[in-house]
Amino acid sequence: MSRNMISMSDLIGILDDISPEMNSEEWDNGGFLVGRSDKSIGKIMIALEPALSVIDEAIAFGADLLLVHHPVIFAPLSSVTSESLRGEKVLRLAENSIALYAAHTSFDTAIGGNNDYLIELLGLPKSQDIAGGIGRTAELAEPRSVKDFAKFIAERLDIPASEMRISSPDITGKLHKIAVCTGAGGDIIDEAISEGCDCLITGDMRYHAALDAVERDFTVIDAGHFGTEKIFSDNMMKKLMSALTHKGYNVSSDEGICIKLAESEHSPFAPIL
């Protein structure tokens, strides 16, 4: 095959090197979800979500593959019809000969994946694994107030400060060691506390979990599921382009394998003011 294209089966091997599927959580359903393994891939679109708008954007782009973080299929499908949203998504992909691959929890835990990249974006020193690799911990170079650090996170993630939620016993208190878990990481609070952290950066915090954290003198900075995971696309693009180039493939927008970030996706939540 020309080095201007790659077979889906070979690309699966490269993606598995970037984020090994064997490290996915048991409940997850990532990996190769739609398409033929012998398909030739020349155009790739990368996005956080396999949203209908993203799928339509991939169709307009002429994509051979839609590479996403969140799987389109979690529970088993008893049918694939346009009567269900998931069925409609699978149909649009299949009817337009677009393969779908999801690097989900495998990319969360991967070296250089979502959590490592968030640590990097915050300019923090090399982190340590927590909760079986699903999260990371890092010490701040100097103590920072909860409010100041939350504003800094909003700036680094390019999200409105108004979308941040803070659960803290003292918003002016100083933070020394933090844990991060992109997406929904409220379940790792116990591990974060046991590792000496005084703050968790995550999204989708539940009310009672946040309340319990405050009563344990622990801070949670909720930057949203979308806010903490939209970094997937840029990070994955860099890693995939590097891996393909290293393997001798031609990665170019003019000729060769063309990789494009989706432009249509956005948070499903919007401020009312």
Phi, then psi, of 254 in degrees rounded to 5? -85, -50
Number of Cα atoms under 13 Å in the Cβ half of residue 82:
4
pTM strictly above 0.85: yes
* Both structure tokens of 2: 């020309």
pLDDT for the residue numbered 140: 96
As a whole number of angstroms, the distance between CA 190 and CA 205 comes to 14
pLDDT for the residue numbered 273: 66
Per-residue pLDDT of the chain (273 residues; tens, 9 = 90+): 458 999 999 999 999 999 999 999 999 999 999 999 999 999 999 999 999 999 999 999 999 999 999 999 988 888 899 999 999 999 999 999 999 999 999 999 999 999 999 999 999 987 899 988 999 999 999 999 999 999 999 999 999 988 899 999 999 999 999 999 999 999 999 999 999 999 999 999 999 999 999 999 999 999 999 999 999 999 999 999 999 999 999 998 778 999 999 999 999 988 776
Q: What is the torsional sign of CA 37, 43, 45, 50?
A: negative
Number of Cα atoms under 13 Å in the Cβ half of residue 107:
31
As a whole number of angstroms, the distance between CA 225 and CA 75 comes to 21
For the sheet with 219-222, list strands across it. 128-130, 135-145, 174-184, 199-203, 219-222, 165-167
Contact 66, 25 (CB under 8 A): no
pLDDT for the residue numbered 2: 58
Residue 127 host element (H or E)? none
As a whole number of angstroms, the distance between CA 12 and CA 16 comes to 6
pLDDT for the residue numbered 255: 83
